[in-house]
Amino acid sequence: MAAPMHTVVILVAAGRGLRMGDGAPKQWRPLAGQPVLAHAAAAFRAAGLARLLAVIQPGDAGRIVPLDLPWIAGGATRTDSVRNALEHLADEPPARVLIHDAARPLVAPAVIAGVLAALETAPAAAPALPVTDALWRAEGQRVTGTAPRDGLFRAQTPQGFAFAALLAAYRAHPGPADDDVAIARAAGLDVVITPGDEDNLKLTWPADFARAEAILNARGQAEGAPMDIRTGNGFDVHRFGPGDGVWLCGVKLPHDRGLQGHSDADVGMHALTDAIYGALAEGDIGRHFPPSDPQWKGAESHVFLRHALERMATRGFRLSHADVTLICERPKIEPHAETMRAALATILGVEAARVSVKATTSERLGFTGREEGIAALATATLVAP
C-alpha cells in the first residue's frame, strides 16, 4: 500500500499587485470585511487541509498576525518566493504540495478536490478552463489577424505536485518561469489538467473586487440550499504495557505505563480517524493502514488522521465538529483536555471551538475500571458542499 499523501498548501502572497493601483497590496485589501489572503486560507481549511504556509514580504509580518498563518519571507519574483517555500519545507518534506495564488480568494472545494484526486495517480495537476472566445492579434487598437484557440486553456491555481519531484525541478531551474507548471514541465513531469471554475478569478484590476463581492453575496444567498451532512462514529481500545507515558489526542501525558499498539497507540486520535472514515463510508484505519504492514510500526497517529482529512477534502467535505470521549481511571484527563483540543484543532485545521475532548470513568467496572487499558469514543460531523 502506498504511503498517505500529506499535503502542504503554499499561499503565495509576496507580490505588490501594481496593476491594482494605489493602496495596500491586493492580498491585504479587505474583501467582504476580511483580507483577501484570509479568504484564500479559509477555503483550504474548509477543504480539510490544515498545513498552510504563506509566503509574504517581511514588511507585511504585522498584517499576517491576526490571520494565525505560519509564514516565510518571499523573494523578488513569484518563482523566487515559491522556491523559498519549497526549500523551507525540505527539512520535513510533505508528500505533496499545493501552490495557490493568494489573489484567488474564491477557490471552490470542488476545484481543490479535483487537484487532490488527480495527484493520487499523477505527479502534477492543475485546474484550468478551456479558451472559448475568439483570439485576435492586434497592433494598437487594430485587429491584424486571428489565432486558433483549439487546445488552449486558461491556467488557475492551486497547482499540485509530488513534493520531491517539484523540489528537484526547482533546483534544476534557477531562472524565472511563468508558473509552477512551466517548471514542472521543464523537468519532464506530466501535468494533468483538472476542472477550473469561472469564480476562481485572480484579483488583478480594481473592478475585480466588485465582481468578487458579488460572488460572495451570491454564495451567501445560496446558504439555504440543501447540504450533505454526514456523521460518523469511531471506537478504539489499547491495553497498557511498559512505558513512561501515553499519547492521547496528540499530547503525551506522563504515566507509569504506556499504551501498546502497532503505532503510537493514540486511542483518541484513532477513534476520531475512524469517525471521519465512517462519515465517508470508507471503512476504518485497518483498511487504509493494515497492521500487518511493517511500514506503520510505531507511526505517529496524526499520519492516519491527516489521511482521513485528505480523503474528506477529496470528497468535497469539510469538518464541522469533532467530539472525543476518553474512558479511563488514570491518567487524569481533565487537566490536559484544553491542550488536547488545541492539538487536534491544529491538525484538523479548524478553530478549537469545533473540537471537544472530555473524559469519563467506567466506575471501576470492566477492563478500563481495572486500569488494563484506555478506550475512546469519537463522533465527527462532515458537511458538503
In this predicted structure, the answer to whether residue 2 has a pLDDT above a threshold of 70 is: no
In this predicted structure, the answer to whether residue 316 has a pLDDT above a threshold of 80 is: no
Same domain, yes or no: 118 and 169? yes
Same domain, yes or no: 211 and 271? no
In this predicted structure, the answer to whether residue 3 has a pLDDT above a threshold of 50 is: no
- Domain limit, last residue, from 224, 250, 278: 224
Q: In this predicted structure, what is the pLDDT of residue 17?
A: 66
Same domain, yes or no: 237 and 195? no
Please report the DSSP string for 173-201 in residue order.
--S--SSHHHHHHHTT---EEEE--TT--
A 10 A CB-CB count for 8 gives 22
pLDDT in tens, 30-70: 888 788 999 999 899 888 888 999 999 999 999 998 888 89
Q: In this predicted structure, what is the pLDDT of residue 19?
A: 64
Count of structural domains within the chain: 2
Same domain, yes or no: 61 and 114? yes
Same domain, yes or no: 262 and 194? no
Same domain, yes or no: 297 and 163? no
- Domain limit, last residue, from 163, 195, 224: 224
Q: Is residue 2 part of a domain?
A: no
Query: Which CATH number belongs to the domain containing residue 295 in this structure?
Result: 3.30.1330.50
Same domain, yes or no: 178 and 232? no
Same domain, yes or no: 211 and 233? no
In this predicted structure, the answer to whether residue 5 has a pLDDT above a threshold of 50 is: no
Same domain, yes or no: 195 and 266? no
pLDDT in tens, 194-213: 999 999 999 998 899 999 98
Q: Is residue 211 part of a domain?
A: yes
- Domain limit, last residue, from 193, 224, 255: 224
Query: Which CATH number belongs to the domain containing residue 19 in this structure?
Result: 3.90.550.10
Q: What percent of the chain has pLDDT over 90?
A: 70
- Report the pLDDT averaged over residues 218-229: 64
Q: Is residue 213 part of a domain?
A: yes
Same domain, yes or no: 153 and 245? no
Q: In this predicted structure, what is the pLDDT of residue 350?
A: 82
User: How is residue 166 written as a grid cell?
Assistant: 517539484
Please report the DSSP string for 245-294 in residue order.
EEEETTEEEE-SSEE-SSS---HHHHHHHHHHHHHTT---HHHHS-TT-G
Domain range holding 243? 228-384
Q: In this predicted structure, what is the pLDDT of residue 4?
A: 37
Same domain, yes or no: 216 and 277? no
Q: pLDDT tier at 172 (50, 70, 90 boundaries)?
A: very high
End-to-end CA gap in the chain: 30
Q: Is residue 1 part of a domain?
A: no
pLDDT in tens, 181-192: 999 999 999 999
pLDDT in tens, 6-29: 899 999 999 876 666 667 889 999
What is the rounded CA–CA span in Å between residue 40 and residue 119? 21
Q: In this predicted structure, what is the pLDDT of residue 21?
A: 64
Burial level of 156, CB count in 10 A (0-12/13-18/19+)? Answer: buried
pLDDT in tens, 101-154: 999 999 999 999 999 999 999 999 999 999 999 999 999 999 999 999 999 999
Same domain, yes or no: 261 and 318? yes
